[in-house]
Structure 1
Amino acid sequence: MSKLLLNLRNVADDEIQDVTALLDQAGIAHYWTEPSPWGISFGGIWVSDDGDQPRAKALMAEYQQARSVRVRAERQAALADGSAETFGTLLRRRPLFVVAVLAGMLAAAALVLLPFVLLRG
């Protein structure tokens, strides 16, 4: 029976390619399912054989550790050279978007807190 190795929710395309290549190199039979069009299922990478699951998980742990180190280094380099997106750069580049999102957050918080304010008064 197949076992889910990686849920593809918020997984970058390059990571999907890396993981499938890693499994191919290790000779682990796998397949992946597409996300549903309505967002109910986000898809996944599945290991076909139960016996390969522990080896696949060990490979994934090594890969994720290495990717974590690499991505953090890339982020630090981008922050150092000023090319990383920060709140300040987003505010300068898309001020109306930032103001609209902040207004939406305030409106949502006000709607949530409104019953408490009305019951108190």
Structure 2
Amino acid sequence: MTILLFKLKDVPDDEAEEIRELLASSDIYFYETHAGFWRLGVDGLWLPDDTHLERARDLIRNYQTERTAKQQKIYAELLESGQAPTLWQNFLLSPLRFIALIIAVFFILTLTLAPFGFMGKH
């Protein structure tokens, strides 16, 4: 039975490519599926059976641990040098998106908290 090893939805292209190379260089056979035009499927890497499942999961887990440490180091360096984007810089990059996000947060908070505000009035 086939086993979903790694979902590729929202995974950066460089990470997906490095995972593919890691599995291929470790002689682990896998195949890739795409969600398709209507996005009804799953973007992912699959194993045809479970013979290499634990080894593949260990490889991916180790890779992701190393990648996380590397990305955190890069971000810390950006913060030190003052190149990490601030809230104001993010606003300037896409003000409409930022404002829409703030409106959405307030809308969700209103819907969530509204029942508690009207409980004492009945």
Kindly state the Cα deviation for residue 36 of structure 1 after the two structures are TM-superposed. 4.2
Which residue is 2:118 aligned to?
Answer: 118
* Deviation readout 1:74-97 (Å, 9 max, x if unpaired): 111222223323323212333343
Kindly state the Cα deviation for residue 109 of structure 1 after the two structures are TM-superposed. 1.5
The percentage of aligned residue pairs carrying the same residue is: 29
Kindly state the Cα deviation for residue 39 of structure 1 after the two structures are TM-superposed. 4.3
Question: Which structure 1 residue ranges, 4+ long, deviate > 6 Å from structure 2?
Answer: none
Which residue is 1:77 aligned to?
Answer: 77
Over the aligned positions, Cα root-mean-square deviation in angstroms equals: 2.0
SS at match of 1:11: coil
Mapping 1:24-43, distance limit 5 Å: 24-43=24-43
Which residue is 2:58 aligned to?
Answer: 58
- State the AA in 2 paired with 1:119: M
Count of residue correspondences: 121
Please, what TM-score do these two structures have when normalized by structure 2? 0.82
- State the AA in 2 paired with 1:10: D
Kindly state the Cα deviation for residue 56 of structure 1 after the two structures are TM-superposed. 0.8
Q: Flag structure 2 segments of 5+ consecutive residues without an equivalent.
A: none
Please, what TM-score do these two structures have when normalized by structure 1? 0.83
| Preserved CA contact (<8 Å) 1:29 1:49 | no
**Residue 46 (1) aligns with residue 50 (2):** no
Q: Distance in 2 between matches of 1:86 and 1:42?
A: 35
- State the AA in 1 paired with 2:83: S
